[in-house]
Structure 1
Amino acid sequence: MKKEIKLIVSDLDGTLIDGKLQATKQDLETLEVLKKRGIPVVAATGIEVTSLAD
């Protein structure tokens, strides 16, 4: 039985972004595919929100 993906939750620091707070081209392309498929992506992080605003 194939299950439908309804939501993706991912850590940011060290997973989707590196030490310079940058995502790889491959990760950005994957996020775009998920967006086109209507699959929401939620970020989970211990980074302070003010650090992400830059």
Structure 2
Amino acid sequence: MVSGASPYFTNAVTTASISVGAIIGTTIYTVSYTDDDVHDISTLSVTMDTHAFFSLDKPGL
């Protein structure tokens, strides 16, 4: 356990791509994170620019 550690993304990327023929609801990218201090109460925030063709889902929240 690491005391005072902040949560961090384990697979952060800046770009993702999708096929032109992809069906609606296709997952393009899944964000993952971890926090080495399991007893710490942390907040993680993820945002995405508004776009008519894409949405940000938060499964399990």
TM-score by length of 1: 0.30
